[in-house]
Structure 1
Amino acid sequence: MKINSLRPLLRTLDMDGTIAFYTGILGFTLAAKNDDWGWASLYKDEVSIMLGKPNEHWPFDKPSFTGSFYFNVDNVDELWEQVKDKTTVCYHIENFEWQMREFGIYDNNGYLLQFGQDITP
C-alpha cells in the first residue's frame, strides 16, 4: 500500500470567511465549492485542503483540533511579511535550535498554522 498524499478537511461555521482567509491572505486557489454539501476544496502549489460545514455525522461547535498544521515553505521571511499584520499571530518568526526558521498564526476559525523553512547550515 502506498499513501499518496494527505488532504485535511477543516470544519468551519463560516465557509465564505474561511475561503476568503485562505485565498486572500495565504494565496490558495478555490478549486471547487458545493453549497449543497457545505464543502470546498482549495490548493496552493503541492498542498490541498478541504473545508466542510458541520453535519449530522460529526458534532461541531468550534474547532477542536489539538495539533497544528505545519507548512514547509521556501521563503518564510517573505510569507511572514505578507501575513503578519493580517492575522492573529501565535508566535513571531524566529530561528529555532531544530534548524527551522518559523512562525505561527491562527486562521479565522482558530486553527493553528505554522510555517517553517529549513536553515540547516
Structure 2
Amino acid sequence: KDGIHLMLASPHYFPDMPKVQDRFFQSQYYFYVDDIDDLRERVIAAGAEPTGIIDQPYDMREFEMPDPDGHLLVFGQDIKKD
C-alpha cells in the first residue's frame, strides 16, 4: 500500500524448494508487508487460496500462494522484538 520491498529468488537458489499445494515453482517472489493478517484476509476475499500464516524462526510472519503463471508468491511481516 505505502511502499514495497521486493526480494527475487530463482529456483536454482533453493534447489530443495518444497512444494506448495503439490506444485513446484519457476521462481519465488517475496513481498515484505506491514500487516500480514489484513493482507491475507483481503487475498482470501479476492478469491485466492493462500497457506496459513506461519511465524518463522527468522523473525518473519509469512504466508504463501501460487500465481497463475507458476510462480510462488510469499508475503512476510517482520516480527522482531526490539
Category of TM-score, reference length = shorter chain: 0.5 to 0.7
Conservation of the 8 A alpha-carbon contact between 2:4 and 2:31: no
Change in 2 beyond 3 A, CA 1:88/1:109:
farther
Shift of 1:76: 0.8
> Percent identity at matched positions?
35
Q: TM-score, normalised by structure 2?
A: 0.61
Query: Which of 27, 35, 39 is equivalent to 1:79?
Result: 39
- Please report how far the alpha carbon of residue 110 of structure 1 lies from its aligned counterpart in structure 2 after TM superposition: 2.4
Tell me the secondary structure at the aligned position of residue 105 of structure 1. Answer: strand
Find the aligned partners of 2:57 and 2:77 in 1 and give their Cα distance.
Answer: 13
Structure-to-structure mapping, 1:32-51, within 5 angstroms? 45-46=3-4
Indicate conservation of the 8 Å contact 1:87/1:106, yes or no. Answer: no
Q: Specify the SS of the correspondent of 2:53.
A: strand
Tell me the residue number matched to 2:14. none
Distance 2:34 2:74 in 1: 13
Structure 1: distance between partners of 2:80 and 2:5: 23
CA distances 1:60-119 after superposition (whole Å, capped 9, x unpaired): xxxx62x31000011111001111352133x31121111100100111222110000000
The structure whose residues are more often strand, as a share, is 1
Gaps of 5+ in 2: 7-24
> What RMSD, in angstroms, separates the aligned Cα atoms of the two structures?
2.5
Residue 68 in structure 1 maps to residue 24 in structure 2 = no
Q: Which residue of 1 aligns with 2:54?
A: 94
How far, CA to CA, are the matches of 2:56 and 2:5 in structure 1? 24
How many residues align? The count is 62
Contact 1:88/1:105 (8 A) holds in 2: yes
1:40-65 alpha-carbon deviations (Å, 9 max, x no partner): xxxx84469xxxxxxxxxxxxxxx62
